[in-house]
Amino acid sequence: MCGILACLWCSDDSSAKRSRIIHLAQRLKHRGPDWIGIFQHKGNYLAHQRLAIVDLTSGDQPLFNEDKTIAVVANGEIYNHEELRKKLPNHTFSTNSDCEVIAHLYEEYGENFVDMLDGIFSFVLYDTRDNHFLVARDAIGITSLYIGWGEDASVWVSSEYKTMHEDCEHFERFQPGTLYSSRERGFRRWYNPVWFSEMIPTTPYDPMVLRNALEKAVVKRLMTDVPFGVLLSGGLDSSLVASITSRYLAETKAGKQLGTTIHSFCIGLEGSPDLKAGREVADYLGTVHHEFHFTPQDGIDAIEDVIYHIESYELTTVRSSIPTYLISRKIKSHGIKMVLSGEGSDEIFGGYLYFHKAPNKEELHQESCRKIKALHQYDCLRANKATSAWGLEARFPYLDKEFVSVVMGIDPDNKLSGQKRRIEKWILRNAFDDKERPYLPQHILWRQKEQMSDGVGYNWIDALKAHAASHVTDTMMLNAARTYPLHTPPTKEAYLYRMIFEKIFPKQPARLTIPWEPTVACCTPKALSWFPEWSNNMDPSGRAAWGIHNSANTKLVSSDIVEPNKVEPQNGAATTNGATNGH
C-alpha cells in the first residue's frame, strides 16, 4: 500500500508550506518507502509515498492526463485497468501504472466513473482548470482514508491521520464506497449494491458459481511485477486462497514473469494451532513455507508501535494487529512486497462461531450486512495498517466487489449452520470439495474456525491481560469513567491501550475515529440479543463462542445430515459432490 496526503484550498502557497507538506508526508514513508512525489498548484498540494508493485520504472506519482491539467495521487490497485484503457482510445498514456486510468476516466466521464474501477483504492484528483477536486475510497474500505478541515478552510485527505492531527481542527474517517466532490461540497455514495439495503436475497445456491467467482477474485489479485506471497494460517479461508493461487499462477502474467514458486507465511506461539495447520497445508500445496515463532514478550514489546501504526485502541483490533505487524516485518525481510490474505470470508459467509445461534435466515443476513459495513473499522484497518507499517501490501480476494455480490445474493437459508446442524461456512467448503482434483485435504477443508488471536496461541490473550494488570492499578480502574468519559475502558487491558494511544494522539477527533460498541466473539451489538448469557461478559474474545460449535455438532442426528457426496438441489440448482460436517 502507498500513502497519500493532500492539502487543498489552502490559503498558504509558500515554500515553507510546501516543506511542511513534505515533512508530514514522510510520516507515511513506512507505507511507501520506494519514492516520494509532490505536486503543487497555488495552495493545493498532492503528496505520494510510493510502494512500487506495478510498473516499477515509470509509475511514480502524482499521475497526470496528457496536458497535466489533472493530477492524481492514488493508493491501491486497479485490477481492470487494461480493460479500461481500451475504453479510452483517444487518450495517450505516459506510464503503465494501473492508477493512471483515473485521470483519463475523469476527463472522459466526469465524476461518474468511480464505479467502473475494479480494485482497492483511495485517491485524490485535482483539476487545475477550475480548482476542483474529487476524493474517493473503495467499496469495502480496504485502503485506509481520512478527511479533515483546517482553520483556513483547507481540506486535508490522508491514508493515516498521523499526518493531519496537528494541522486540522477536525478530521474523521472517509467512509467506504463514498466520494467527496468539491463542486457539491459534500459526500455521496458511489457504491450501492443490493445487499447494502439488507433486503433478504433469494438466489439459489450454486456451488460452481461460487467456486468460479472466488477463483476469478484470486487470479485478478495476482497482478504484480514484484515477488508476492500468501498468508497461510492453515484455516479454511487462507488455505483456499493459497490453493487457488497454486492452481492458476502458471497461467498468469506474474507466473510467467516471476516463476511459479509460491512463498507462504505463518506466525504463532510455539505449538500454536495455526503453525501446525499452516505447515500441513504448505506441504500439501508444495509452497516454500516460512514459519515464524514469537513469544508473548515479543508481542508485548510491540504494543506501542502497533497502536501508533493502526491508530486505534479498540481492544480486539490491537490484539490481532500485533501478530500481523510482527509477521509483516519478517515477510518484508524476505523481499516480498505483496501478500494475499483471507480477510472478509467470515463476514460474507456468516462464518464466526456465534452465527450458529442465528435464530433465522433473515437475522443471519442482516448481521452479515452489518459486519461487512463495519469491516473498514476493524479487520480491514488492522490488515491494511499493520502490514503497511513495513511497506507490505495485503490483498483480500474474499472482499472482491463482484464476489461479495455473488455471496450476498445467495438465499441465506443456505448459510444457516446451527439450525441446519452444519459446520460454519458450509456452502464455501462444499463448493471446493472436489474429489477428483482436491483443493485441500478433507480435514483442512472442514477444519473449525479459530479466532485469529487464539489461533496464534491459546495463552497469547492471557499474557496480554497479565501484562496490563501489572501496569494498570485498581485505583486507575475506579476512576476510569472520569479519566476517560468517552469510551471508558472496561478492563485493565483496554485501559493500557487507551493510555498509550492518548500519549500519541491526544485530540478528540482521533478518539472519534475509534469504533466503540459492545461485542463478544466478534458479534455486533444487535446480535448480542441472541445470547442473554453474554450480557455481562467483559472480554470480547472468541473464546466465549468455543462451546457453540461443539454444542451444535453434538446435537446432530441422522435425519439432519445430508447424504455424503450429495447436495440437495434448491429450486433447480445444480448438484455437486460435497460433505456436510466434520474436520
C-alpha to C-alpha distance for 332 and 557, rounded to whole angstroms: 49
The DSSP code for 138 is -
Question: Which residues, 6+ apart, have CB-to-CB distance to 455 below 8 Å?
Answer: 233, 235, 268, 272, 273, 274
Looking at residue 454, its pLDDT comes to 58
Cβ atoms of residues 154 and 493 within 8 Å? no
Residue type, 273: P
Residue 578's pLDDT is 30
Task: List Cα–Cα distances, 386 to 99, 339, 346, 379, 466, in angstroms.
Answer: 23, 13, 20, 10, 23
393: helix, strand or coil: strand
266 is catalytic: no
CA distances from 138 to 30, 117, 135, 172, 189 (A): 21, 9, 11, 16, 11
Q: Give CA–CA dist 583/581, Å, rounded.
A: 7
Question: DSSP strand E in 336-488: where?
Answer: 338-340, 393-395
Q: Note if the bond before 62 is cis, omega within 30 degrees.
A: yes
Instruction: Tell me the backbone φ, ψ of residue 4, rounded to 5 degrees.
Output: -120, 150
For residues 54 and 34, give the distance between their C-alpha atoms in angstroms, rounded to a whole number. 12
C-alpha cell at 3: 500513502
- Per-residue pLDDT of 342-369, as tens digits, reads 999 999 999 998 999 999 999 999 999 9
Q: Inter-axis angle of helices 315-333 and 492-504, to 10 degrees?
A: 60
Residues 293, 278: Cα–Cα separation, whole Å: 13
Residues of the chain with pLDDT under 70: 450-455, 457-458, 535-583
The amino acid occupying position 222 is L
- CB-count burial class (<10 Å; 0-12, 13-18, 19+) for 257: exposed
Active-site residue among 2, 369, 380, 523? Answer: 2
Taking the CA atoms of the chain, what radius of gyration do you get in angstroms?
24
Quote the CA–CA distance of 418 and 420 in Å, as a whole number: 5
